[in-house]
Structures are given as structure tokens and as C-alpha cells.
Amino acid sequence: MPEKAFIFDTTLRDGEQSPGCSMNLEEKLAMARQLDRLGVDILEAGFPIASEGDSEAVKAIAAEIRRPIVAALARANQLDIDRAWAAVKEAERPRIHTFLATSDIHLQYKLHKTREEILKQISWAVGYARSFCDNVEFSPEDAGRTDRSYLIECCHAAVEAGATVLNLPDTVGYCMEPEYEQMFADVKARVPGMDGVMLSTHTHDDLGMAVANTLAGIRGGARQVECTINGIGERAGNAALEEIVMAIYVRRDVLPVFTEIHTEELFASSQLLTRVTGVAVQRNKAIVGRNAFAHEAGIHQDGVLKKAINYEIMTPQTVGMPASEIVLGKHSGRHALSKRYEELGYQLTKPELERAYELFTRLGDQKKNVYDEDLIGIVNEGFEHLPEMFTLKLFQTVSSSAGRSTATVELEKDGEVFHDSATAEGPCDAAFCAIDRIVGVPGTIADFSVHTVGPGTDGVAEVSIRARFQGREFTGRSTSHNVVEAAARAYLQAANKATYELKRAAESAAATGSVHSNEMVDRFFPGGY
């Protein structure tokens, strides 16, 4: 029967210690709310002795976040423990987390204390913390490099003094999995009075082993795991929460635990942390990186399109990511290409697909990714040289911040001038509606982007539009000093391409006698064909 692994998040404490990741009170509160939504069991809110700001942040989190246990860190001395308690005492379920180094290296070069002195200090500090709070965690810092028999003595001292959680940190990310697992098994078997005391992992990623070691600790008997969102933390970081949680979820067949994390909040948590700290995760970061569910190799794309399980061990939706992304590049195959064309509204025949594929691979050699605009450009190659069916003669818009906008458009086709007006929320929308009324085939905008060319407010606006007409997408691009005019011209270009292409489709349907009923047929062959 699997047991629950309690998730102890230390993004706001160990994570915040990482360069570039410090957060102010508002940012910490926003993160704490998200961690609550994520369902973490314990939230380490900070190290109150470190600064007034940290202390205030822990107080604010303790006062607001009610469901999880809220922990505050303290060294094993009176002032730290007093500060930690003062900051966390308003929490619904407060915890004091106190720590003291136990490895000979730290004793000799950092603390300049004997093993006996450390043992006494552990007993005193845990006892003192227990005088305030019945939930006390003790961490023998650098446990991973501590002599095993001495570690057992330290843990015993902490348990005797009332520690309810024993956390065994691999502070410097030095341990190998079997060593880390064995440490838990030893402490569990050799420390008297362990009933009711929870063992906890805390791993750093200096050798890239943090998550693997956390899972090893679980196998050794730990039921609390300390980790951070995106794996931020001292030096190479802490074990990444999202990786641990998903490893436990995906490999529940071999791991003896489950978590109560709402996995669909993982991506949002990662994104919020990125926004708050400005520190982005690498593209290929497991679970939450931009490429975590993106497939580019042709064989992989083909496999995923046939059945996602071929190359995906979890769905992007499980971690709250919108959808798998098929990134079209030079490694993509025909299957992915034709699927994307279908999504863009193009049912390509075999020869059409062959020709598009050839142009696409040529383009893929020149640029890294091939975008929808490029694909549409490939199938509509030659459109740029077509005479415009409708040309823009005049356009006028009236808009105000208080209400709707009106656009009047004058178009010319074969020497005949048409004009019409429309009203909509914004001036661009109004111009598009007026164009639709004249051209007779309404379009919807799939993508609209503006960028300015040249400096200052007198720069030229370049508008690119992708619009869908009768289920197929067409692009248009135009530049002008007037953004609305550039938008209207770009839209008209797309509408012209659509009109041409749909007319051609209607004509070929008429020539082959195939039954083809759509608005374009009615428009170009009003009497039927």
C-alpha cells in the first residue's frame, strides 16, 4: 500500500538564497498563494533572522496561508529561534526548523567546535524550540558527509529533545544514490525512539543528482521531501519539486509513495516564479521547460501524431501546459507538415504536399523554425505577383475612448468603386468589417501583429495578419505611418488572396462537375454551375 510523501517546499527559503532569486514581500506572498493552490504540505516561508524583510514576509505568509504547515528556519541558537517563533507563531500550523552542521569538515573549519559541544547544542536548541512549538524539525547540516555513527548520535539527541521531523541534508550535493538511501535506512534502524518521527530528504544538485537522491531517500524510508520550484537554490540548486512529483506520479508502479500535489498547477507555479524572479528555466528543463513537450524530429512527430504515448510519458495537460507542440523545422516529416496544413485549413493533395514539403525542407535549412506564415506562404506561392482584385482607394475611421469605432472604406475592382461602413469595438475591427461587406467573404483574425520600423513615434508600423476565410488561412502584410491603415491594407491583401484562391477552387470544381457548395461558388457563379 503506497504511503503519502509530504512535499516540503523551500522555494521561499533555500530557493530564494540563489543568486538573482530574491523576492520582496508582495512577491513572496504571491508565490505562497500559488504554492497553496499547488497543494504543498509544508511551506518554508523564510529565514527570519536573515533580515527584517524576510521576517516580515514570514509573518505575512503565516497570517494568510492557512492550510499548509508554515515553517521558519533558525540556526541552533536562542536569537534565531526566538525570531523564527515570533515570525511563524500566527500560522494555523507553525513549525520551527532548526539546523546545525555535524560533519567533521564543518566542525573543524566552520564552527570550530568539538563533537561533544555540537551534541549538547542540538539537545538544547531542539528543546528550546519545543518550548514554543510542538512541531520542530532538526537538520544535521552536511549529513551526507557526516560520520555515520556520529550522525546517529546527533539524530538521537534531536529525537530525545523532541524533534518531530529529522531532515538529512546532502548540503553540498555530494552523495551517490545508494549512499543517500543507506543513510536513511541506518538512521531509521539505529536511532532509538523513531516511532512518530518523520524522516526527510533535502538534496542539492551539484552533481546533477538531487532528484535521483530524493527518490533514493524515499526508498530508504523518508516520507517528507524538501524541494523548490524550478529547482532554484544554493549553487546548482535544490531538487526540483515538479520533477520529484511527476517522477512519483509517472513511476507509481515502482515507487512506494504518492503525493497530494495538484499536478496541473505545476506549470503555473513555474511560470509565476519565473515572472517574479526574472530567472527563466532552460528550454529543455524537465516537466516545465518550453521544449518539455515539443517534438521536432520527424520520426518523433510522426509517432506522437499517431499516438502521443509513443514519445510522451505524461500529457502536457497533467502538468498544466496547454498542449504538445509540434515544432516544424528541418527534421520534421510529411505527416507533421500535412497535419499542420490541415489545422490551417489546407487539405493538400499528394502532389501538392510533395511540392510543399520540398519548399519547406529548403526553408528549414535556412531558418531554425518554420512558422505558420511561412507554410501559408509556401502553398500560396505566386500570390504576391497576382494583380490585386480589390484595391484600397480611401479609408476613414472615427474612434473614441468612450465608445465604438466606425470605419468607411472605398475599394475598387475592375474600374468599379464600392464603398461601405461598419461599426465595431476598435477601428481596425471596424475597417475589417467594412472590407468584409464589400468583398463578400467575411474573415476572422487568427493572428495580428504590429511592429514599428524606425525610432520614435514617427516610425512606420508594419502589420502582419493571418486571417481565416471559409476555413482556410491567408496572410497579409503592409506598412504605413497609420497603424489602422496598415492593418486595413494587410487584411485586404489576405482577403484578396482568399478571393482569388476560392474563386480558383470554385472554377475547378465547376470544370470537373464536382458538387461544391459554398459561399464562394454562389458568389462567383450566382446562377449555379
| Shortest separation between residue 267's beta carbon and Zn ion, angstroms | 25
| Shortest separation between residue 233's beta carbon and ligand KIV, angstroms | 8
Identify the residue whose cell numbers are 526508498.
219
16 binds, among ligand KIV, Zn ion, none (CB under 5 to 8 A by kind): none
128, 129, 198, 230, 241 from 138: Cα distances, Å: 12, 10, 11, 25, 21
| Shortest separation between residue 72's beta carbon and ligand KIV, angstroms | 12
59 binds, among Zn ion, ligand KIV, none (CB under 5 to 8 A by kind): none
Closer Cβ to ligand KIV, 103 or 269, answer by number: 103
491 binds, among Zn ion, ligand KIV, none (CB under 5 to 8 A by kind): none
Q: Is 204 helix (H, G, I), strand (E, B) or coil?
A: strand
Angle at 251 between CA 246 and CA 253, to 5 degrees: 145
Q: How far apart are CA 100 and CA 166, in angstroms?
A: 12
332 binds, among Zn ion, ligand KIV, none (CB under 5 to 8 A by kind): none
Q: How far apart are CA 13 and CA 457, in angstroms?
A: 45
141 binds, among ligand KIV, Zn ion, none (CB under 5 to 8 A by kind): ligand KIV
Q: Which grid coordinates are listed for 364?
A: 528549414
| Shortest separation between residue 167's beta carbon and ligand KIV, angstroms | 6
Closer Cβ to ligand KIV, 136 or 486, answer by number: 136
Closer Cβ to ligand KIV, 36 or 44, answer by number: 44
**Residue whose beta carbon is closest to Zn ion:** 14
Q: Which grid coordinates are listed for 153?
A: 548520535
Dihedral pair phi/psi, residue 27, rounded to 5°: -65, -40
| Shortest separation between residue 184's beta carbon and ligand KIV, angstroms | 15
Q: Are 465 and 447 in contact (CB under 8 A)?
A: yes
Q: Which residues bind Zn ion (CB under 5 A)?
A: 14
188, 210, 366, 380, 402 from 80: Cα distances, Å: 29, 28, 60, 70, 57
139 binds, among ligand KIV, Zn ion, none (CB under 5 to 8 A by kind): ligand KIV
Closer Cβ to ligand KIV, 49 or 292, answer by number: 49
Q: Which residues bind ligand KIV (CB under 6 A)?
A: 14, 99, 139, 141, 167, 169, 171, 202, 204
Q: Which grid coordinates are listed for 140?
A: 544535521
Closer Cβ to ligand KIV, 44 or 501, answer by number: 44
99 binds, among ligand KIV, Zn ion, none (CB under 5 to 8 A by kind): ligand KIV
Q: Are 320 and 351 in contact (CB under 8 A)?
A: no
| Shortest separation between residue 474's beta carbon and Zn ion, angstroms | 55
Sequence letter at residue 318: T
| Shortest separation between residue 222's beta carbon and Zn ion, angstroms | 15
Q: Are 316 and 293 in contact (CB under 8 A)?
A: yes
Instruction: Count each helix (H run) and each strand (E run) in the chain, helices first.
Output: 17, 18
Closer Cβ to ligand KIV, 84 or 490, answer by number: 84
| Shortest separation between residue 213's beta carbon and ligand KIV, angstroms | 12
Closer Cβ to ligand KIV, 138 or 383, answer by number: 138
**In terms of C-beta density within 10 A (0-12 exposed, 13-18 middle, 19 or more buried), how is residue 447 classed?**
middle
Closer Cβ to ligand KIV, 95 or 204, answer by number: 204
User: Mind spelling out the 3-state secondary structure of 414-445?
Assistant: CCEEEEEEEEECCHHHHHHHHHHHHHCCCEEE
